A and B are shown apart, each in its own frame.
Chain A
Amino acid sequence: MSRRPRGREERSIVASIGLHATLLGAVVIALFPVVWVFLASLKPKSAIQSSEIALFDQPSLENYRRVLLDTSFPTWFLNSVVVALFTMAIGMAMSATAGYALSRFNFPGKRGLMWLFLITQMFPVAILIVPIYTIMANLGLIDTKASLVIAYCTVAVPFCTWMLRGYFDTIPRDLDEAAAIDGLGPFKTFWYVILPLARPGLAVTAFYTFLTAWGEVAYAIAFTLSDDKLTLGAGLQQFVPQFNPQWDLLTAGAVLIMLPASLVFYFAQKHLVAGLTAGGTKG
């Protein structure tokens, strides 16, 4: 009886089963709430709130039909898309330029800026709502999408800047110098040389800024008033009256909300590890 000796990179069967079992368990936990909400969204209201629980119970798309046709959901959805895309574009532009400056230049005020970023993360957003509301009101921006975009940028930009700085740090400075010799100023270097090389970092930034804006609730409730200006986060609160949450609408809405997020996620995911690594390893 001859047994092939186990290679260095091979695992015993037991270890292999253990590995896959653990990961499968984790995947089930990771996906279950999402799947469960999806399954619930297919059930009629009475079945959702029944204590007899079944995977399927008279499945239909009735909830989706009602959310899409009988409520302002499509408007909110569109508003959210606009707000999230603008937040993404502006947030990326701000954090990429600032991150590049922090990565490459030693300028007076650099330390202060780093502190500003850290402090920004520490001061509770919930408390900033009132003063920011006042500022927005003074600027006449209340009940506009611009107010939300600006507010979300303040939330997302510090982390994104810090992360992109880490990513830019991994791009050799020689390239900047070669570009300088080739006749590029700092802005052109940034645009033609650094940005094309920072794709993973930018993908994470895009993902992060989009998500920050997409499902945010507190600012959305505070800054938008009229029904046609609401974003998803604010609008969906209408399905949750004080004592009687409308789970049928809520579950269908939640599934619809997750669709664009998953789309962005799908495009960003393969860069996430590489993009975040650089930011993480640099303090």
Chain B
Amino acid sequence: MSTPVVFDAASRVYPGSSTPAVDSLDLEIQPGEFLVLVGPSGCGKSTSLRMLAGLEDVTSGAIRIGDRDVTHLRPKDRDIAMVFQSYALYPHLTVGENMGFALKIAGAPKSEIQARVADAAKVLDLEPYLDRKPKALSGGQRQRVAMGRAIVREPQVFLMDEPLSNLDAKLRVSTRTQIAALQRRLGITTVYVTHDQVEAMTMGDRVAVLKDGVLQQVAAPLELYDRPANAFVAGFIGSPAMNLGTFRVEDGAALVAGARVPLPRATTAALTEGEVVLGFRPEALEMVPAGTEGAFPVEVLVAEELGSEAFLYGTLAAELKDPQLVARVAPRSVPEKGSTVHFRILPERLHAFSVSTGEALPTS
């Protein structure tokens, strides 16, 4: 019943530009899968989605939905439904008419339209609002109407372009789970675009990270978190972000603020330069007494106490990509601002990347 979607070396070059907005994207989306496209603004994630929707021309390569090549089909012939960031509800139609519009255009009988709109309205708690115009609805309700419009279609693929970015923080969290649950229940292949890595991690079966039009890595959320393919993915996924810094390597160990952090043999073997990019997440740091093997001093700038956990922001006398270093520490006994503490990197949670290419280096 569900349909796979394939991007086959699909590229998009805007007229008058020499660099592609989407560069030879290869991506296979499994039937019924919830795939999230994530990346910073301008990375090509929306363009990719719009190529799939047929709103953007494919310059080269192909896109397939199921076994149909849809590369040059018009949007209406692709059997897709889309939720827009702005929702794009027709202001002159009521909620019910908005949801049933596509069916009406397709010439479906009135009774069927009504039944399907009623079903969708029930699922989305929109029943009392069917006769209102979008103008009279709250942001969250409009968002649900936009969802409803997509559901009513019963398409082969759902496309969602940052559908939560216009909601306030609290509503965003609850809607996030609703959308994910709804998708699982309907089992319709879904491609979801967001710039928010938390959304990506919590909603997607798999997450595709893009940067500058190039696909960096596709993997399940935890896989991305635990085994980022390169320094960009490592820094993008996770909050607070992973600490990344460039360090000199001597005798199989990286020199971190005067301390020697031993590197796995596999890493040193793969090194081609005398430097390495090390990555370690805030929770990969362990506070230890001064003088411990591999421990380095950090001056505390800010301590964020969240109750369930706490984060220390400090400076490290070495080159870090982000001049600040973040460490997760036990709550309710946080070192004072201005004091100096010592940290050690848990060896099994150390990531290493090549300085020149940014590619991950083996650590075991």
Q: Which residues of A contact B (CB under 8 A)?
A: 172, 174-175, 177-185, 188, 192-193, 196-197
Contact = CB atoms under 8 A, between A and B. Distances in A.
A180 B84 contact: no
B81 to A, nearest CB: 6
22 contacts: A174-B85, A174-B86, A175-B88, A177-B84, A178-B82, A178-B88, A178-B149, A181-B75, A181-B81, A181-B82, A181-B102, A182-B101, A182-B102, A183-B75, A183-B76, A183-B102, A183-B106, A184-B105, A185-B76, A188-B105, A197-B91, A197-B92
A193 to B, nearest CB: 6
Interface in B24-68: 53-55
Nearest to A174: B88
A180 B74 contact: yes
B74 A172 contact: no
A193 B90 contact: yes
B88 A180 contact: no
B234 interface: no
Given A174-B88, A193-B90, A185 B101 contact: no
A177 B105 contact: no
A180 B75 contact: yes
A172 B90 CA distance: 10
A193 B106 CA distance: 15
B102 A177 contact: no
Contacts of B85: 174
Interface of B: 53-55, 74-76, 80-82, 84-86, 88-92, 101-102, 105-106, 149
B119 to A, nearest CB: 18
Q: Is the interface of B mostly helix, strand, loop or mixed?
A: loop
A57 B244 CA distance: 96
Contacts of A172: 86, 88
Contact of A180 (B76, B90, B106): B76
Contacts of A179: 90
A162 to B, nearest CB: 24
A158 to B, nearest CB: 28
A181 B106 CA distance: 12
Contacts of B88: 172, 174-175, 177-178
A181 B80 contact: yes
A80 B64 CA distance: 59
Q: Is the interface of A mostly helix, strand, loop or mixed?
A: helix
Contacts, number: 56
Given A175-B90, A197-B92, A184 B76 contact: yes
A67 B102 CA distance: 57
B95 to A, nearest CB: 14
Contacts of B90: 175, 178-179, 193, 197
A172 B85 CA distance: 12
Contacts of A192: 105
Nearest to B78: A181
Given A180-B54, A184-B76, 12 more contacts: A180-B55, A180-B76, A182-B76, A182-B149, A183-B75, A183-B105, A184-B105, A188-B105, A192-B105, A197-B90, A197-B91, A197-B92
Given A182-B76, A183-B106, A177 B55 contact: yes
Contacts of B84: 174, 177-178
A181 B53 contact: yes
Contacts of B105: 182-184, 188, 192
Contacts of A197: 90-92
Nearest to A180: B75
B190 to A, nearest CB: 15
Contacts of A177: 53, 55, 75, 82, 84, 88
| Most B CB within 10 A of own CB, among A181, A182, A183 | A181
In the A-B complex, list the 8 residue pairs whose CB atoms are closest, starting with the nearest: A174-B88, A183-B76, A182-B102, A178-B88, A180-B75, A196-B92, A181-B82, A183-B105
Contacts of A174: 84-86, 88
Contacts of B149: 178, 182
Contacts of B102: 181-183
Contacts of B80: 181
Contacts of B55: 177, 180-181
A83 to B, nearest CB: 32
A188 B76 CA distance: 12
Nearest to A175: B88
B124 to A, nearest CB: 17
A193 B102 CA distance: 12
A174 B82 CA distance: 11
Contacts of A196: 92
A243 B101 CA distance: 66
A83 B79 CA distance: 47
| Most B CB within 10 A of own CB, among A177, A178, A192, A196 | A178
A185 B74 contact: yes
B353 to A, nearest CB: 39
B163 to A, nearest CB: 12
Contacts of A180: 54-55, 74-76
Nearest to B81: A181
A182 B106 CA distance: 9
A174 B149 CA distance: 14
Nearest to A193: B90
Nearest to A184: B105
